[in-house]
Copies of this chain bind each other. A is one copy, B any other.
Amino acid sequence: MTREIDRRTRNPEKTRAHILDMAFGEIYLHGFQGVSIDRIVRKTEVTKGAFFHHFASKKELGYALVDEVLREMILDRWIRPLAAYRNPLQGILKRFKVLSEEMSDQNLARGCPLNNLAQEMSAVDSVFREKIRAVMTMWIDETERYLQKAKEGRYLKPEADTRQLAVFIVMLEEGAFGLVKSMGDRRIFESLYASLRSHLQALTV
């Protein structure tokens, strides 16, 4: 019995998470279509058999990546931290600042993993399209929920359209990382932060 099979037998969930984790890194580096199962298998150091035990195909692995890894990443980065702010608008500005400042130059050049996959695969595969749409909708819904809170707390003007503003904020959060990736210049973040701040200020009580 090899060490690998031993590990898989003992803890299949851990092996699955390990494969997803390694695949995330490889796909982030080379794009979904730029990565082969062989390459992922080499990285994970599990056998090809173990890989196919968990994922029927590279696409199945990609779908799990959206449903599990990318969904959680968006919640952890953009949504859950907002609960700590009395004024959610301040939380939204702060998250944009923190996330743009703490990202390494390398990862800025790679962009947002969800956006990369969305732009690469949404038009190519309808299951990817549905799964990516579900994560984006969740992102907008959750942002709107905090904007509603901002309205209830009288931080946001009562006439502000929270759905329209939520769509705008998520577009800017994704669009900023996309443009910084295209431009290779992180000062773009400072410029867009100032635009976001003035946009929110115009809607603030």
- Given the interface pairs A33-B33, A172-B175, A175-B171, the reply to whether A122 lies near B164 with Cβ below 8 Å is no
Pick from A29, A30, A191 the residue with the most CB of B within 10 Å: A191
- Of A11-19, A54-62, A91-99, A128-136, the segment with at least 4 beta carbons within 8 Å of chain B is A128-136
Which B-chain residue is minimally distant from A195 (CB atoms)?
A: B168
Interface size on A, residues (CB 8 A): 47
Given A164-B195, A181-B118, A202-B202, CB of A123 within 8 Å of CB of B137 = no
Distance between Cα atoms of A132 and B182 in the complex (Å): 6
Complex Cα gap A16–B15 (Å): 50
SS class, residues of chain A in contact with chain B: helix
Copies of this chain in the oligomer: 2
Tell me whether B167 and A133 are in contact (CB under 8 A). no
B-facing mask of A176-205, CB < 8 A → 1, else 0? Answer: 101101111000100110110011001000
Query: Measured between alpha carbons, how far is A124 from B110 in the docked complex, in Å?
Result: 8
Among residues of B, the one whose C-beta sits closest to the C-beta of A181 is: B122
Tell me the bound Cα distance from A165 to B191 in angstroms. Answer: 8
A200 to chain B, nearest CB (A): 11
- Would you call A178 and B119 a contact (CB within 8 A)? yes
- A129 CB to nearest chain B CB (Å): 6
Query: With A175-B178, A178-B178 as given contacts, are A194 and B164 in contact (CB-CB < 8 Å)?
Result: yes
- Complex contact B33–A31 (CB within 8 A): yes
Given contacts A137-B183, A175-B175, 6 further A-B contacts (CB under 8 A): A31-B120, A133-B183, A164-B194, A171-B175, A171-B192, A195-B199
